[in-house]
Amino acid sequence: MDPIDFTLYLVTDRSLLPAGKDHLETLEQAIKGGVTVVQIREKNADTAEFLQIAQQSKALCDRYKIPLIVNDRIDIALAIGARGVHLGQTDMPINVARKLLPEGTIIGISCNTVEEVLRAKEAGADYVGLGAVWSTQTKKLTSPPIGVRGLGVMLEALDSSNISAVAIGGIKSSNLAHLLHGSTSQTEHRLDGVAVVSDIVASPNPEEAAQRLRSIFISSRLVAGELQSKSTPSRDDILMKACTIMDTTRKLSPLVHQMTNVVVANQSANITLALGASPMMATAPEEMGDLSKLSHALLVNIGTLVSGSLQGMLKAGYFVNAARNPIVLDPVGIGASDFRKNSVSELLNSWQATVIKGNAGELAALAGSSETVSKGVDSLGSFKDPVTFTRQLARKERCVVVLTGETDYISDGKCVVILKNGDPLLGKITGSGCMLGSCIASYCAAANLLESNDEYSGGSLDRGGNFLAAAVGAVLTLTIASELATKREGVRGIGSFLPALIDNVAALQPEDIRRFAKMKVVDS
């Protein structure tokens, strides 16, 4: 028998049908929209009713040659000759089900932890349902959502096995690109598909809902393939792109939404203007949906985080991911408190960052490494092997990582760019790191506008390496401008340096970047 195509796995739930819609009609429309496998899930029906629904659904699926899986009930699966069964952790054990079912029957199991995945592997499951990724109204969850990062860890547990994996729980067309990006890059084992209930079943147009989900899945798979085969760009390639991005920022003046700290808000807004972009410094959770329609990128800086601002950041990121615009995360002082650590964890679990930027202490805390510590927001010490650290963190978080310090390291998970520009005064003023965050976000906005001709290529999927170039360009712009600023007449120290820096950023030309960049690219 053909292997099952898990790309778009519809799990039914008749209680979610909109008024006037019937189960079989919705099922047929969903199949026409591109559902590749169907699970009949009946939590309240008695046996006779379940059997009838299963028989009718099976006849329909057969007509379209779509495999049908029965939730939980081995007897119903046997009675209708289903292609498979789906078991929960407290249902019939896999080895017993295997004995009862005809040879070749597909057995899947829901897993919520790495241990459950390892046990499913041991027991010979054909596929696993990993979740719940996000919270959902459809099923009462017995443990907290695993988030995209949790999903990545569970997928890694499947490396070197041939078990298929689908994700489930709260998956919608608005967050699917984020989900797939978080689980397609570096591990051997990718998601084979996504399982969805409400986004299709509760939709007034299940055919279109299924089409939307399927096309996002397919295009993301293409992008992931491109990323895998991407060759290391040369120093000149990256510099050329960075200069194009610099020009584009001035030409298109992207609107950069910045949720930053109270210490640096003013200078961050001014450096953004100096780059040719426009700052928008809003924080209220209530307006994030509206603002995401206007902005071209989001900067999230946790420098003076309070509980209220965290809600705004969660919301903002959700909408910005959905709009496929870039997000830059600056986890300022994350090592200083559990509140910051937990908050960043929550942010990275609910949305996909495009770039994460921090000093050694901050990125060590974010990565859970004890190699270097921080004092307040300042970093003490550095990594023994910053190149490997930066590359690995980029792989783990599936985004571009910028490690700042006397030398800056930037990686997309493949190559690492090493930069050695910058005047020491940059480290003496407050908020130079935060200004860098604004520069990265502005250039990411421009980079995204450059490549947004494909509906699904934007956001966190660094298709052409443009976000890497944007981050490199941002570091070079700020550090080279700092070198030129200290040469200006009248610049004597911290106080006179800041305005000179802002002026020099505004005056900087692409030629300056090409001429002064102290830059090297190393391959993985």
* Residue ranges in contact with ligand 3NM by CB under 6 A: 11, 110, 129, 131-132, 136, 138-139, 168-171, 196-199
Q: What is the sign of the dihedral through the CA atoms of 395, 396, 397 and 403?
A: negative
Residue where the block lists tokens 């919520």 = 112
- Report the partner that residue 448 touches, choosing among Mg ion, ligand 3NM, none (CB closer than 5 to 8 A by kind): none
Minimum distance from residue 41 beta carbon to Mg ion (Å):
8
Burial class (CB in 10 A: 0-12, 13-18, 19+), 99: exposed
Minimum distance from residue 141 beta carbon to ligand 3NM (Å):
6
SS3 state at 370: coil
Minimum distance from residue 444 beta carbon to ligand 3NM (Å):
30
Minimum distance from residue 142 beta carbon to ligand 3NM (Å):
9
Burial class (CB in 10 A: 0-12, 13-18, 19+), 246: buried
Candidates 88-96, 278-286, 368-376, 489-497: pick the segment binding Mg ion (CB under 5 A): 88-96
**Could you tell me how far CA 452 lies from the centroid of its own chain?**
17
From 13, 28, 42, 72, residue interacting with Mg ion (rule: CB under 5 A): 72
What tokens does 38 get? 């169907």
- Report the partner that residue 170 touches, choosing among ligand 3NM, Mg ion, none (CB closer than 5 to 8 A by kind): ligand 3NM
Among 61, 111, 434, 439, the active-site one is: 434
Q: Is 13 in the site for Mg ion (CB under 5 A)?
A: no
Q: Is 116 in the site for Mg ion (CB under 5 A)?
A: no
**Could you tell me how far CA 95 lies from the centroid of its own chain?**
36
> Strands 408-411 and 278-280, how do they pair?
unpaired
Cβ-based nearer residue to ligand 3NM, 130 or 275: 130
Cβ-based nearer residue to ligand 3NM, 57 or 477: 57
Q: Is 88 in the site for Mg ion (CB under 5 A)?
A: yes
Cβ-based nearer residue to Mg ion, 167 or 399: 167
Minimum distance from residue 329 beta carbon to ligand 3NM (Å):
26
Minimum distance from residue 118 beta carbon to ligand 3NM (Å):
17
Cβ-based nearer residue to ligand 3NM, 133 or 502: 133
Strand partners, 9: 37, 195
**Could you tell me how far CA 75 lies from the centroid of its own chain?**
40
- Report the partner that residue 110 touches, choosing among Mg ion, ligand 3NM, none (CB closer than 5 to 8 A by kind): ligand 3NM
> Which distant-in-sequence residues (6+ apart) come within 8 Å of 452 by Cβ?
324, 458
Binding-site size for Mg ion (CB under 5 A) equals 3
Residue where the block lists tokens 């899930």 = 41
**Calpha distance 148→483 (Å, rounded):** 41
What letter represents residue 482's amino acid? S
SS3 state at 401: strand
Among all residues, whose Cβ is closest to Mg ion?
88
**Calpha distance 499→506 (Å, rounded):** 11
Minimum distance from residue 428 beta carbon to ligand 3NM (Å):
50
What tokens does 299 get? 């900067």
- Report the partner that residue 408 touches, choosing among Mg ion, ligand 3NM, none (CB closer than 5 to 8 A by kind): none
Cβ-based nearer residue to Mg ion, 11 or 410: 11
SS3 state at 471: helix
Q: Which of 110, 92, 97, 86 is nearest to 38 (CA)?
A: 86
From 91, 451, 483, 503, residue interacting with Mg ion (rule: CB under 5 A): 91
> Which distant-in-sequence residues (6+ apart) come within 8 Å of 103 by Cβ?
none
Cβ-based nearer residue to Mg ion, 72 or 192: 72
Instruction: For residue 88, count other CB atoms closer than 10 A to its CB.
Output: 14
Residue 520 φ/ψ, nearest 5 degrees: -140, 145
Minimum distance from residue 98 beta carbon to ligand 3NM (Å):
21
Cβ-based nearer residue to ligand 3NM, 4 or 176: 176
- Report the partner that residue 72 touches, choosing among Mg ion, ligand 3NM, none (CB closer than 5 to 8 A by kind): Mg ion
- Report the partner that residue 519 touches, choosing among Mg ion, ligand 3NM, none (CB closer than 5 to 8 A by kind): none
Candidates 31-39, 66-74, 160-168, 506-514: pick the segment binding Mg ion (CB under 5 A): 66-74
Burial class (CB in 10 A: 0-12, 13-18, 19+), 262: exposed
Measured between its terminal Cα atoms, the distance across the chain in Å is 41
Cβ-based nearer residue to ligand 3NM, 11 or 491: 11
Q: Is 434 a catalytic residue?
A: yes
What letter represents residue 472's amino acid? V
- Report the partner that residue 91 touches, choosing among ligand 3NM, Mg ion, none (CB closer than 5 to 8 A by kind): Mg ion
Q: Which residues are catalytic?
A: 434
Binding site for Mg ion (CB under 5 A): 72, 88, 91
